[in-house]
Structure 1
Amino acid sequence: MTSVVLDVREVHAKYGKHEVLSGVSLQVPAGEWFCLLGPNGVGKSTLLRCISGALVPSAGDLLVAGHSVIAEPLAAKRRLGYACAPEQLPELLTGRQCLEVYAHAKGLQALDDAVLALATQLRFESYLDAFVDTYSLGTRQKLCILLALLGEPALIVLDEAFNGLDPASALVVKHHLQQRLSGGRCAVLLATHSLDIVEHYADKAALLIDGRIVREWDETEIAAYRVQGDSAMETALAAASNTVGST
């Protein structure tokens, strides 16, 4: 399966008069783990909010599994698994209630067996009937990830989703995502500062600076950095950032 799951077409986005995204374009096919890199405040989360439909771009379009987020929002969201920020979870609901609300919104009759199995692997079962306001950051992150995986989404969108996770849980999630990707069941878009994830899991990565994609790395380049050692990707990222800053 090689179909394009995410197609971002010359997207511009503003907050008031301030333009945050200035013509961003990228494509992510099924089976690909795509990492979005960049310093704080350059527009990564804004782009993810546009993909989720939470923010309407001022120009351009975004397609999820062939459905425009702007023109066909319901169809696009049915194919999207978006992990909201932990602080956005409804604190007066239990974890199970959050999962049931999301499942209902996606038209599911029951929670996915695969998601429930992952909850067990993440040792989240004991928190299912506890209220979200009692959760630690790591426990909230687990719930956000589980919510994003409901309904076999074609596109899984994660924003720094590994922050706060213990190493064992992070590894479980990475392996779960790899299993979904290996079957061509979905694509993953992860906004992250973790170069370790890029080097060991990403098929492609892109650097966003001041609202534009200024550099992309393909699978061959990433594999080469992996061989060169821990600082190779960091050096390449710094060089690309400095080049933009000097122009």
Structure 2
Amino acid sequence: MNRLESPPVALRISALRLAYGGRPVLDSLDFELPAGQVAGLIGPNGAGKSSLIRAIGGAAGGMPGVQISGQIELAGHCIERSRIQALATLGLALPPEQLPTMLSGRQALQLLTDLRLSAEQGPAALQESESLAGRLGLCPWLDQPIYGYSLGTRQKLAIVLALLGEPPLLVLDEVLNGLDPMSALALKDELRARADRGAAVLLATHGLEVAERFLDRCLLLQDGRLLADWDSAALRRFRQPGHGGLEKAVVERLRQARPL
């Protein structure tokens, strides 16, 4: 790509509205996530972060009582019109309780490899996944059934499954929770390496200190609306003496949106 060209858009959200039983959860969301960027999704509980991630993963449409409008595009493919092509570009970390518990971790990796990748791509992808599993401290558990895993070990497996095969868009919901410091560092290093190779990363997190120092961009949600979209320059500015950090910026913006 010419340096003057804009990177391709990995995720485009346009006028997205989502309601459960008539109760609005997402309200007219619009943003784009370009290739090569690590963006964070932050906000208080109930802000709509997990609902947005479910919608990106195609899990919101068609559910009883759910009303959804607007458009979600993954690598140029609209989920509504080209669901298979769109979701083929996505690496989404499953909630730990949704993992196939009767399989071992290795069997789950093999199953996803068979479903997503060609026979030519599979061996190299599995080798890379085992390397990542090693850096996350997961290897001792790979041949054990998932039902015996702790929550943290399931989280690690969900991460490895999401990253299998170099998907161009990675969407991860609170995956740093429950990870020990070495595993958390290994994951951040891996996500940065994936971004350097052209992947886009959307990471929902409550860890504002991690967000401030790790992310290229930070999206603040409140009541299903996008309150702030801070770029890397803003995040650097928050770290300077006297600025109070990202935490102060978030609190101030939330107070402005909902004054006492």
TM over 0.5, yes or no?
yes
Q: Which amino acid aligns with 2:83?
A: P
**For residues 52-131 of structure 1, what are the structure 2 equivalents within 5 Å?**
52-56=57-61, 58-109=68-119, 110=122, 112=125, 113-131=127-145
Pair 1:34-2:39 in alignment:
yes
User: Which residue is equivalent to 1:217?
Assistant: 230
Q: Deviations over 1:179-212 (max 9, x none)?
A: 111122x000011111122111111111111111
Pair 1:207-2:220 in alignment:
yes
User: Which residue is equivalent to 1:178?
Assistant: 192
Deviates most, 166-175 or 83-92 = 83-92
Identity %: 41
| TM superposition score normalised by structure 1 | 0.95
Q: Deviations over 1:40-69 (max 9, x none)?
A: 112100000010011126110111111111
Pair 1:236-2:246 in alignment:
no
Aligned-pair distance for 1:226? Answer: 2.2
Structure 1 residues 230 and 168: CA distance shift in structure 2, 3 A: farther
SS of the counterpart of 1:8? strand
Pair 1:9-2:33 in alignment:
no
Aligned-pair distance for 1:101? Answer: 2.0
Aligned-pair distance for 1:231? Answer: 4.1
Aligned 8 A contact 1:12 1:19 in 2: yes
Q: Deviations over 1:101-151 (max 9, x none)?
A: 222221343251322211111221111111111111111111010011012
Aligned 8 A contact 2:237 2:243 in 1: no
User: Which residue is equivalent to 2:4?
Assistant: none
Q: Which amino acid aligns with 1:102?
A: L
Unaligned 5+ residue runs, structure 1? none
Aligned 8 A contact 2:42 2:220 in 1: yes
CA RMSD, aligned part only?
1.6
Structure 1 residues 231 and 141: CA distance shift in structure 2, 3 A: farther
Deviates most, 106-115 or 231-240 = 106-115
Unaligned 5+ residue runs, structure 2? 2-6, 62-66
Aligned-pair distance for 1:90? Answer: 1.8
| TM superposition score normalised by structure 2 | 0.90
